[in-house]
Amino acid sequence: MIIIGGGVGPMAGVLLHRKIIEATRTDGTDQDHLEVLHISRSPIIGDRTEYLQGKDVPDPAEGMFRVLHMATAAMAAEGSSDYPAGKAVAGIPCNTFHAPEIFRKFLSLLDGADIPVQTVNMIDETVQEVAARVSSRGTVGLLSTTGTRVSGVYHDYFRSGGYTVLEIPEEEQPALHEAIYHRAWGLKAVSPPDGRAVDRVFGYARELVRAGAEIVILGCTELPLAVPEGLVEGVPTIDPMTALARALVREEAPEKLRPLQEGGG
Amino acid sequence: MIIIGGGVGPMAGVLLHRKIIEATRTDGTDQDHLEVLHISRSPIIGDRTEYLQGKDVPDPAEGMFRVLHMATAAMAAEGSSDYPAGKAVAGIPCNTFHAPEIFRKFLSLLDGADIPVQTVNMIDETVQEVAARVSSRGTVGLLSTTGTRVSGVYHDYFRSGGYTVLEIPEEEQPALHEAIYHRAWGLKAVSPPDGRAVDRVFGYARELVRAGAEIVILGCTELPLAVPEGLVEGVPTIDPMTALARALVREEAPEKLRPLQEGGG
């Protein structure tokens, strides 16, 4: 079973869920799809950027641990024959959640409670996808929340691989964060997205391309709501959620992973 | 907590989940959204039309009962303070599942196992929405799977209200069913939808309008993938999933139901 640790944010979980369905190769029937347990408990999971900034919000690692605890109880209720220990694979559709301060604590909580769920790391999967498309010593553009930026979660991976990571000027970062978080017109607040947020994110993507990015990572799960995966001024954008969805299908049932060239995946 | 009894089909659950988020009025933060437990177990839930036709497929009522059993175990694991008995409300995003032969058995299985979950009936909610927009003795167009059509689930409700129910000619019904079910290009098989399926469904919606329908019910959860809720030749189409999503939010947290005129709902 695939577990979506959702609620970070709620719509990001829905996008990941859709991508899992689209990445699954089936015989065309409902019944040939993979089982998905999608738990969205945003009220108990504090904002990841605010947590990293030391604000007084519920610990995201503890909230997500409770989600996985709930998932484990659900699976146990349905018998060990369907779900042998270690058979479930979980993904968390939030880049900032993968900041080491949060993700490591989450993994240690799972270990301590002996929760038999394998976790896929969205950042690892995205870095591998970038490495398959951009040569080492290349330049990678990154758009993200302030939390992801400050935590350096992508930077550490890429610098060790010899890449240059390009971001928007630091003084512009609050404006990008606002496009995601503004309570009236931000990507988290409004569906479908507001033109202001879309224009601002597109503008920053273009800036990174003009500054030399060979690929642009849409490093917050809400950003692809504004800039779809594809090309910006001829340069590919990459949605970490696609990498996560494909990794979840691959780990759950490798024979069902739809090749990328079949489309939709 | 809102429970989505998903997997019927997998993408229908994702659409319902999105509509729940869009129907929720929040302060613009992730944390102000409702908790959703979305369980998609399509392999254990037989096709509803095939079941109604007497084919040898897993009983959809029993499969969905196992989904609700799983949901109950999940909620119990997280303590009774968060989820007092009777607080959860569940919806099943499949019109054909609401055929009396399936839905009544499902409800009686829940009753028998003392599962404390309230169920919202998508057909009831859709009928109420139609009644608010079309006067009694009016003409209601219905597009659906063969299973929904043959089971008469909508007909019984509307006829008792004095409405005339208009469907496509019976000899055309297999072609409509095929647009949903074809394993290479049907709406269940391909995402985003194939032009053949879209054209066929649009054509049938137009036929109903020309024959006098004052509203067209997109009476299978995959149909709105082809014909969005809106207008066809000036006549409104109605997506039962929107009615279901709004009813789930209303039952879970009435103060959070976004008024329809705010858009997005």
If pLDDT is split at 50, 70 and 90, which confidence band does A263 have?
Answer: very low
β partners of residue B257: B24
Phi-psi region of A46 (alpha: psi -120 to 50; beta: other; left: phi over 0): beta
Q: What is the mean pLDDT of residues B61-82?
A: 85
If pLDDT is split at 50, 70 and 90, which confidence band does B185 have?
Answer: very high
Highest mean pLDDT (candidates A139-143, A221-225, B186-190): A139-143
| Per-residue pLDDT reduced to its tens digit, A86-96 | 479 999 999 99
How far apart CA B222 and CA A116 sit, in angstroms, is: 35
DSSP A200-241: HHHHHHHHHHHTT-SEEEEESTTHHHHS-SSEETTEEEE-HH
Residue of B nearest to A68 (CA): B74
How far apart CA B233 and CA B227 sit, in angstroms, is: 12
How far apart CA A200 and CA A213 sit, in angstroms, is: 18
Q: What is the bridge-based pairing of β-strands B2-6 and A88-91? A: unpaired
Looking at beta carbons, which residues of chain A come within 8 Å of B11? 18, 21
If pLDDT is split at 50, 70 and 90, which confidence band does A79 have?
Answer: low
The whole model's pTM is what? 0.92
| Per-residue pLDDT reduced to its tens digit, A140-182 | 999 999 999 998 989 988 888 889 999 999 999 999 999 999 9
A73 and B73 within 8 Å at the Cβ level: the answer is yes
Residue of B nearest to A72 (CA): B74
- Both tokens of B211, joined, read 């024959």
How far apart CA A153 and CA A158 sit, in angstroms, is: 9
Q: What is the CA radius of gyration of chain B?
A: 18
In three state form, how does the secondary structure of A72-111 look? HHHHHHCCCCCCCCCCEEEECCCCHHHCHHHHHHHHHHHH
Q: Which residue bears the tokens 């394998």?
A: A118
Q: What is the mean pLDDT of residues A125-150?
A: 93
3-state secondary structure of A39: strand
B35 and A42 within 8 Å at the Cβ level: the answer is yes
DSSP B24: B
- Give percent of chain B with pLDDT exceeding 90: 80
The ipTM is: 0.92
Q: Count CB pairs under 8 A between chains A and B.
A: 165
- Both tokens of B106, joined, read 């499902």
Looking at beta carbons, which residues of chain B come within 8 Å of A14? 14, 17-18, 21
Whether the Cβ atoms of residue A42 and residue A7 lie closer than 8 Å to each other = yes
Residue with the larger pLDDT of the pair B190 and A217: A217
> What count of Cα atoms within 13 Å lies in the side-chain half-sphere of residue A256?
19
Residue with the larger pLDDT of the pair A86 and A2: A2
Nearest CA of chain B to the CA of A132: how many Å?
Answer: 26
The mean predicted confidence, pLDDT, of chain B is 91
Q: What is the mean pLDDT of residues A26-39?
A: 95
| CA distances from residue A226 to A122, A176, A202, A239, B179 in whole angstroms, order as listed | 20, 12, 7, 12, 31
